[in-house]
Amino acid sequence: MESKNFATVFVFMLLASLMASCQGSGGDDPNTATLVLNGQVTETKVDWQSTKGGALLDIARFMEGVGGRFLPINMDTGIVAQYGKRIGFASNGYAYGMVQVQLCPMEPACKEDGGRLWAPLGFLGQVLNGTVTVDEAKRQIVVNATPALGIGDVVPEAQGVASALEGSGYQVQQGDICLSNAVEICAAGYSPNANANNAGFPYLCIQAPLPPDAAHAILPVQFAYSLREDEGLVVIGRTPPTCDYYSYRSYFLNICLSGVNPFDRQKIYTQLGDPINAYNIQDDMFYGNPSGAKVEPYESFFVLVSTADRQLYEDVRAAVSQAGLDPNKVLLDIMDPNLIRLGNDDFADMMNFLHRFSNPKDKDAGQVYTHRPTLEVLRLTPNTPRTADFLTPYAPRKRGSGTNEEQYRAALDSLRQAILEEYGGTNRIEELPTYVWMAKSGAEAIDAVEDVLGETRDTLYLKSGLFRFGADTRVLAYGINRTATGKSVYNNVSCYGAQYING
């Protein structure tokens, strides 16, 4: 009797062990495959699905296996993935996601299924700057990826600054700054409009890494970010090549208007103060030590701190010095805590950081710069949260000069009459009224909850009345050439679609 019982128990334990072994390997599931990364077989198993549009992978398991980061978008409505500096995002069911703020076809669209989020191979390949394929015969997920860029790979000085900050009690994460296309962002469904984009002119925006303790992303778009009151972003690198204009500025992007999930948000997109630009970059107010050396306007090393917290700003200056660099080259972009609801919860206001760059003198150098800006982006989070010592925002510059241009009135009237005589014989002429546009800025726009389309106080905007642009329509704009008179750096005229304000 004792021998029989022993044999029964032994057989049962052996069978249980074999079953557990099979379950752990995923060997019996045809839709579980081994991850092969750059020719190396890993221990990671990734589930996948076959659909009419192509294969979908369990993105959480996949990103863990390749050494990246994945977070769902609020309520599992989409995906965010980061690999080195590269960040991609997509909403479930959308035809396009974005990687490095460039359109990425979602073939098939990402989705939530069985409590997990699933992403297409093409999207994952773009995030890794490589390729991802499924070898069904070998039951392998085959990944060929370029090495992830780390801190210091674009701007070597960033590594020393980051190391010093880690030593002084900060968690340092890298993001990136990317060329963006407002029309594509709108067309893909990630913005309600195209921000009255200046067609043909580059806009670069920061993609910030999500907070280190985040459980999900608040919004799909990762060029929108939130910050705790004691956090900040650091941009480190070199100013652009010689051009007509560039600027750096943090923006208030949107506000949460509801207390119930999913949250109702309203786009406002107004700057949080005057930009740092090529013409004021040596102004005393942007420097901790105005009597020291300052940043040269073009192709010059600088560090820019975007924060509300004085302690973080001082710690960055100290870290720059510890890294053997000049702390006098540290510029300050103040986020006004009176205008923003800071924090990383779902009710926080979202921000954006915009870098404009217009009309480079050397077009080839300009293309090289916009393709890979000589900049790195760091997110700083104190290891121990603290109450911020808020910085005092700068007083805004006056936009008016106090003088008018009535002396040009007669010449302008004569020009108008000449145009009417030249074109009036065979054409129906409609004279469109013009208005001051996007006059509200900062607190005024936020209080009005009005979308001012990423305006900047560095320019003045005029718009005409609406008109239909037919096949034989011609638009003629005339006025004073203020670039020729030295009152402006450049001026331009754009036609916009009325519904989406796309240029």
pLDDT tens column, 455-481: 998 998 999 999 999 999 999 999 999
Instruction: Give me the long-range contacts of 37-45 (CB less than 8 A, separation at least 24).
Output: 37/65, 37/66, 37/143, 37/145, 38/143, 38/144, 38/145, 41/140
* Residue 312 parent element (H or E): helix 310-322
- Going by their DSSP bridges, the two strands 32-37 and 140-145 should be labelled as parallel
C-alpha dihedral over 446, 452, 456, 461, to 10 degrees? Answer: -140
For 63-163, list the strands marked E by DSSP: 69-72, 78-83, 86-91, 96-99, 102-105, 111-113, 116-120, 130-135, 140-145
Q: What is the mean pLDDT of the chain?
A: 93
CA 41 to chain centre: 34
Q: In the chain, where are the structural domains located?
A: 32-145, 157-382
Give the pLDDT of residue 1: 41
**CA dist., res. 159 & res. 150, Å (int):** 9
Q: What is the mean pLDDT of residues 21-29?
A: 43
Tell me phi and psi for residue 181, to 5 degrees. -130, 105
Is 178 within 8 Å of 207 (Cβ atoms)? yes
Q: pLDDT for 72-102, tens place per residue?
A: 999 999 999 999 999 999 999 999 999 999 9
275 burial via Cβ count (<10 Å: 0-12, 13-18, 19+) = buried
Give the pLDDT of residue 399: 75
**CA dist., res. 225 & res. 349, Å (int):** 8
Give the pLDDT of residue 31: 94
Give the pLDDT of residue 290: 87
Is 50 within 8 Å of 141 (Cβ atoms)? no
Please state which of the ranges 85-89, 236-240, 314-318, 419-423 shows the lowest mean pLDDT.
419-423
**CA dist., res. 239 & res. 277, Å (int):** 10
Q: pLDDT for 387-409, tens place per residue?
A: 999 999 998 888 777 788 899 99
Instruction: Give Cα separations from 408 to 1, 341, 411, 498 (angstroms).
Output: 116, 46, 5, 31
CA 386 to chain centre: 26
DSSP state of 223: T
Please state which of the ranges 73-77, 169-173, 341-345, 421-425 shows the lowest mean pLDDT.
421-425
Is 104 within 8 Å of 123 (Cβ atoms)? yes
The token pair at 231 is 């956090």
Report whether pLDDT(259) > 90. no
DSSP state of 85: T
The band of 219, judged by pLDDT with boundaries at 50, 70 and 90, is: very high
Of the two residues 403 and 109, the one the predictor is more confident about is 109
Give the pLDDT of residue 6: 37
Q: How many CB atoms lie within 10 A of CB 272?
A: 25
Give the pLDDT of residue 24: 36
The token pair at 315 is 């710690």
Q: List, in order, residues 6 or more apart from 472 with CB less than 8 Å away.
A: none
Report whether pLDDT(119) > 70. yes
DSSP state of 359: E
Is 186 within 8 Å of 387 (Cβ atoms)? no
Report whether pLDDT(15) > 70. no
Q: What is the mean pLDDT of residues 201-226?
A: 98
Instruction: Give Cα separations from 419 to 22, 266, 282, 491 (angstroms).
Output: 84, 43, 44, 21
Q: How many CA atoms lie within 13 A of 109 on its CB side?
A: 12
Q: What's the residue count for the chain?
A: 503
- Residue with structure tokens 């999207």? 123
Of the two residues 118 and 482, the one the predictor is more confident about is 118
Q: CATH homologous superfamily of domain 32-145?
A: Copper amine oxidase-like, N-terminal domain (3.30.457.10)
The token pair at 387 is 């109450």
- Going by their DSSP bridges, the two strands 69-72 and 78-83 should be labelled as antiparallel
Report whether pLDDT(13) > 70. no
Give the pLDDT of residue 19: 37
Nearest C-alpha neighbor of 137 from the set 27, 55, 30, 26: 30
**CA dist., res. 32 & res. 48, Å (int):** 6
Give the pLDDT of residue 397: 84
* Residue 184 parent element (H or E): helix 182-187
Cα-Cα-Cα-Cα dihedral sign, residues 283, 485, 358, 495: positive
- Single pTM value for the model: 0.92
Give the pLDDT of residue 79: 99
* Residue 437 parent element (H or E): strand 434-437
**CA dist., res. 35 & res. 266, Å (int):** 42
Give the pLDDT of residue 256: 95
Q: What is the mean pLDDT of residues 266-286?
A: 96
